[in-house]
Chains A and B, each alone.
Chain A
């Protein structure tokens, strides 16, 4: 069978490109005549600049030549980020036309907008694009359901194919060999978070959880491995945040740079546990590669990951659970978790007799402990609780101010989203540092007020005891 694969392709450093290479390898091994068309010059047989109506229509003569077309679908491939709604409609309509012209089209969906506004012409064009395909492939059952509900396609036309179905091992090194190759000590229990550095990957959560799990440097380590995929300011800012966190927490090592396929697998083999605390994602190839090498995974319960995890992997729904999972993993490896115990809270005041004041006191105390933990200051247990009760009033006026954030560049008005996106990009370099600084100032002010209130509180009993001293 003559098959055309449309996808980002090697040597582009991209997860989908790597995925495509493996798919093409499998298809060719099965005897198919496979050619690849990529949107950028690459190792593919053809390339067409996509991201526009013209680009989409240029696919027409290609797709007619093949028995089957396999598209690794990611919206960024076909729609430029920030594309205007009108342009998006036209591109989707053009793609529908292209898919219709082909004999058979399979769309492997790596990402789709399930949560967007699905009304109007834009939605009609998008649905037409999906409906024009012969088959839609997703990686998890959860995603299949979301796709069906969002776009109204019959479930029979949406197939689940295991994300790692085409994956093959790229190294046969042992753990010890991998550690030597990466110059890592062999005896330390090693957590690994690997992949492109983007806020939604949640690597900052790995670092904080590592610290809060009480991991002791020298016995345990956390390696964060990855690169910034695109030099967007928010990604660069996130990298800065990871650098600061890694510098502040012993045992955390940040390795910035793209890991090639072999090196990627080497890191996984070297690790004892892969930590994937994604804030959102639909499916994870890292998780599949970890499974390939039988490395346990601690992953967030988001998207379709619950359908992907296997064996002794653990799903977590919160930072608290992530901390617990890492702590348990360390304990299972005979590494005692040092550091402060997790903040223990007294029970909630319960029943008819519990007054609003009782409950609010407890809320304030717990929130103060959490504020300290998240803010990076060490938790001080009971002392922090005590301080919270006294300092709450002092800092309330400042804490009530919402954290400054730049509004999302979206709008239901036609064209406004595009305009806002452009403005956001043009001003981001100036605005983002200001936003960070203002929020840091707010945090510092709260801390100052609370310390000052506490100092006054501390002074008071001393003065009282002096007054009452019989020696005076």
Chain B
């Protein structure tokens, strides 16, 4: 069964449970969930998305209306978030974790409950878990996953989007990993990290993530619509310190100053963009853009930069490669280094000096850099074509989970 030739599974129903979902939501895990949900729908599954009313993962404010809506073939059901007025305790525990302190179990619980909570979602799953063949939760770190995977673990597929970060060592997450009916990993380094941290169930697999192949790249239209002339490098995603954005800005400023590079830095996504004064005129913030512009931006760029040290897959790298654009990535991330080494299509850097030289290479040897982009496209088409990834995911659902939804309804004790 393939996406192009689906054999509908009448009555087969699957739920995806991300903390945020929607057109204006930026995030790798969220994008993967959305693509996967649409993929299952195309295969003939009845797909529900159970999520929150939030768009912003800092405020968790309820921006979307609660209740039911549709995203094409997908039924969305949103539930309001409840956010404590003060998150001081959570911030304190977070500070302790990041400075290497060990939290007691109670402190870990207080930490995870100190952010958003979605009691109505939890109870909906409690009431309806039996309606689904599988419930897919992602990413591991959020309350929606942490709390709701406890409802029906034997129907739960976890797509953790795991990074090697202090939170991952918390004891409270161990049962979530060991008790899931199955786990989908996006990359081999993520899989290895999980083995190092948790006792995994037998049912786990590196499935990757399918990356949509754009029909065309309207580069000229993109440049004209956004008034972008000249050569540029691109960053797409959440412009946050944790994603390496601030470090990228500082390193890019230093590289421009030292080498007079011909590039602007074009960026799209969410988050506050505040470049150093010296490069304000060289940083172009497109904000959130639609799919067509997003695709074209990847194709128009001289290179895509992935500055994040915490990646479980890096979908944006795949999008860049698909567009034939070379990638320059932070070598601190095992995942992106793995992709770069496996594909031979990306350069990694370990500090700002190496980033500067990577940029110089792209500036001074554009033809050689373009060869990297070609290798990258081949790599993505070979490994992450949506149909093959979906096939692996669906096969694992059939293999791991009960085929008679409603027949063995379970709930937490």
Contact residues, B340-356 vs A (CB, 8 A) = 340-341, 344-354, 356
Instruction: State whether A392 touches B350 (Cβ < 8 A).
Output: yes
CB distance from B287 to the nearest CB of A (A): 11
Residue of A nearest to B345 (CB): A356
Contacts of A280 in B (CB 8 A): 277-278, 280
Contacts of B364 in A (CB 8 A): 348
Contacts of A396 in B (CB 8 A): 331, 350
Residues 362-377 of B, flagged 1 when their CB comes within 8 A of A and 0 if not, give: 0011011001100000
Q: Please measure, in the bound complex, the distance between the C-alpha atom of A319 and the C-alpha atom of B259, giving whole angstroms.
A: 7
Residues 403-418 of A, flagged 1 when their CB comes within 8 A of B and 0 if not, give: 1010110111000000
Residue of A nearest to B256 (CB): A318
Confirm or deny: B309 has a beta carbon within 8 angstroms of a beta carbon on chain A: yes
Residue of B nearest to A370 (CB): B353
Confirm or deny: B104 has a beta carbon within 8 angstroms of a beta carbon on chain A: no
Confirm or deny: A90 has a beta carbon within 8 angstroms of a beta carbon on chain B: no
CB distance from A321 to the nearest CB of B (A): 6
Q: Please measure, in the bound complex, the distance between the C-alpha atom of A77 and the C-alpha atom of B246, giving whole angstroms.
A: 30
Confirm or deny: B124 has a beta carbon within 8 angstroms of a beta carbon on chain A: no
Q: Please measure, in the bound complex, the distance between the C-alpha atom of A320 and the C-alpha atom of B277, giving whole angstroms.
A: 21
Confirm or deny: B250 has a beta carbon within 8 angstroms of a beta carbon on chain A: yes
CB distance from A315 to the nearest CB of B (A): 11
Q: Please measure, in the bound complex, the distance between the C-alpha atom of A321 and the C-alpha atom of B354, giving whole angstroms.
A: 20
Residues 283-326 of A, flagged 1 when their CB comes within 8 A of B and 0 if not, give: 00000000000000000001000000000000011111100000
Residue of A nearest to B227 (CB): A149
Q: Please measure, in the bound complex, the distance between the C-alpha atom of A408 and the C-alpha atom of B276, giving whole angstroms.
A: 10
Instruction: State whether A370 touches B250 (Cβ < 8 A).
Output: no
Instruction: State whether B274 touches A408 (Cβ < 8 A).
Output: yes
Instruction: State whether B258 touches A370 (Cβ < 8 A).
Output: yes
Confirm or deny: B275 has a beta carbon within 8 angstroms of a beta carbon on chain A: yes
Instruction: State whether B351 touches A400 (Cβ < 8 A).
Output: yes
Q: Please measure, in the bound complex, the distance between the C-alpha atom of A352 and the C-alpha atom of B332, giving whole angstroms.
A: 27
**When A200-B277, A370-B356, A407-B241 are in contact, do A359 and B361 touch as well, CB less than 8 Å?**
yes
Instruction: State whether B272 touches A410 (Cβ < 8 A).
Output: yes
Which of A50-58, A154-162, A360-368 lines the interface with chain B? A360-368
Interface of B is mostly: helix
Contacts of B344 in A (CB 8 A): 355-356
Instruction: State whether A356 touches B280 (Cβ < 8 A).
Output: no
**When A405-B250, A407-B246, A410-B272 are in contact, do A115 and B280 touch as well, CB less than 8 Å?**
yes
Instruction: State whether A403 touches B250 (Cβ < 8 A).
Output: yes
Contacts of A279 in B (CB 8 A): 257, 277-278
Contacts of B277 in A (CB 8 A): 115, 200, 279-280
Residue of A nearest to B359 (CB): A363
**When A280-B277, A363-B358, A367-B353 are in contact, do A356 and B367 touch as well, CB less than 8 Å?**
no
Contacts of A395 in B (CB 8 A): 350
Tally of contact residues, A, Cβ under 8 A:
47
**Max chain A C-beta neighbours (<10 A), residue from B260, B278, B350:** B350
Residues 128-158 of A, flagged 1 when their CB comes within 8 A of B and 0 if not, give: 0000000000000000001000000000000
Instruction: State whether A350 touches B257 (Cβ < 8 A).
Output: no
Residue of A nearest to B375 (CB): A356
Measured as residues with beta carbon below 8 angstroms from the partner, the interface class of chain B is: 35 or more
Residue of A nearest to B372 (CB): A356
Confirm or deny: B7 has a beta carbon within 8 angstroms of a beta carbon on chain A: no
Residues 360-391 of A, flagged 1 when their CB comes within 8 A of B and 0 if not, give: 10111011101100100000000000000000
B347 partner, pick from A114, A200, A363, A412, beta carbons under 8 A:
A363
**When A348-B365, A351-B371 are in contact, do A363 and B274 touch as well, CB less than 8 Å?**
no
Confirm or deny: B360 has a beta carbon within 8 angstroms of a beta carbon on chain A: yes
Contacts of A317 in B (CB 8 A): 260
Confirm or deny: A39 has a beta carbon within 8 angstroms of a beta carbon on chain B: no
Confirm or deny: B247 has a beta carbon within 8 angstroms of a beta carbon on chain A: yes
Confirm or deny: B169 has a beta carbon within 8 angstroms of a beta carbon on chain A: no
18 contacts between A and B (CB under 8 A): A115-B280, A200-B277, A280-B278, A316-B260, A319-B258, A348-B364, A354-B371, A356-B341, A356-B372, A359-B372, A363-B347, A363-B358, A363-B361, A367-B353, A367-B354, A367-B357, A403-B352, A405-B250
Point out residues on A near B: beta carbons under 8 Å.
Answer: 114-115, 146, 200, 205, 279-280, 302, 316-321, 348-352, 354-356, 359-360, 362-364, 366-368, 370-371, 374, 392, 395-396, 399-403, 405, 407-408, 410-412
Could you list 17 further interchain pairs (A-B, Cβ under 8 angstroms) beyond the known A399-B350, A405-B246, A411-B272? A200-B277, A280-B277, A280-B280, A348-B361, A348-B364, A356-B340, A356-B345, A356-B346, A359-B361, A363-B354, A366-B357, A367-B353, A367-B356, A396-B350, A400-B330, A400-B351, A402-B244
For the complex of A and B, 10 pairs with smallest distance between CB atoms: A318-B260, A317-B260, A115-B280, A367-B353, A399-B351, A279-B278, A400-B332, A348-B365, A363-B357, A402-B247
